[in-house]
């Protein structure tokens, strides 16, 4: 079932009129809307400028089964992480930091910081007093101990 909400603001002759619909039918006939707006504003002219057109659609979907989303990729025992110095402001110094490839980490993997989890498009920094666990859906659960 689809629900649509649409809203228009139409201006002409310095006057603006808002026209909207949330009945699910939508704004189908713009000329009809402009005609209604013109008559509401007391104008005879059919010329109008659409200043704002807002549309929102909501679609109800079946929720996916969580079991199908579980993560099976990753190594049973990921390779030993690379280590490099990373500056931590709260420590005011560089600390040797484990660098993990996120795609090699399996569900249930646990490690302590400092750590840097890298993947295409993002990196996650784990503080020196924090730890993390990889969840069943591949999410990173960070336990902060500040």
Give the model confidence (pLDDT) of 92-131 as tens digits: 999 999 999 988 898 889 999 999 999 988 899 999 999 9
pTM value surpassing 0.75: no
Same domain flag for 131 and 93: yes
Mean of all residue pLDDT scores within the chain: 74
Q: Which of 59, 74, 106 is where one domain is finished?
A: 59
Over residues 42-57, mean pLDDT = 62
Instruction: Tell me if 65 is assigned to some domain.
Output: no
The confidence score (pLDDT) of residue 145 equals 83
Same domain flag for 52 and 89: no
Same domain flag for 53 and 101: no
- Residue 29: which pLDDT band, with cuts at 50, 70 and 90? very low
Same domain flag for 49 and 100: no
Instruction: Tell me if 106 is assigned to some domain.
Output: yes
The confidence score (pLDDT) of residue 80 equals 84
The confidence score (pLDDT) of residue 27 equals 43
Same domain flag for 90 and 54: no
Instruction: Tell me if 67 is assigned to some domain.
Output: no
Same domain flag for 55 and 10: yes
Q: Is the pLDDT of residue 84 over 90?
A: yes
The confidence score (pLDDT) of residue 24 equals 45
For the chain, what is the domain count? 2
Q: Is the pLDDT of residue 25 over 50?
A: no
Same domain flag for 129 and 87: yes
Distance CA 102, CA 118 (A): 6
Instruction: Tell me if 19 is assigned to some domain.
Output: yes
The confidence score (pLDDT) of residue 125 equals 94
Instruction: Tell me if 75 is assigned to some domain.
Output: no
Return the percentage of the chain with pLDDT > 90, whole number: 31
User: Domain span at residue 88?
Assistant: 82-143
Same domain flag for 87 and 139: yes
Distance CA 66, CA 51 (A): 44
Instruction: Tell me if 77 is assigned to some domain.
Output: no
């Amino acid at each position: 079932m689809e629900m649509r909400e649409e809203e228009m603001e139409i201006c002409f002759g310095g006057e603006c009129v808002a026209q909207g619909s949330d009945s699910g039918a939508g704004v189908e006939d713009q000329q009809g809307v402009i005609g209604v707006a013109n008559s509401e504003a007391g104008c005879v002219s059919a010329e109008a400028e659409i200043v704002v057109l807002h549309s929102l659609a909501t679609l109800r979907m079946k929720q996916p089964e969580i079991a199908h989303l579980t993560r099976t990729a990753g190594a049973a025992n990921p390779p030993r992480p690379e280590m490099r110095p990373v500056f931590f402001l709260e420590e005011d110094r560089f600390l040797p930091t484990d660098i993990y490839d996120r795609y090699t980490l399996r569900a249930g993997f646990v490690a302590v910081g400092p750590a840097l989890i890298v993947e295409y498009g993002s990196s996650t920094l784990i503080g020196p007093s924090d730890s993390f666990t990889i969840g069943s859906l591949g999410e990173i659960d960070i336990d902060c101990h500040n």
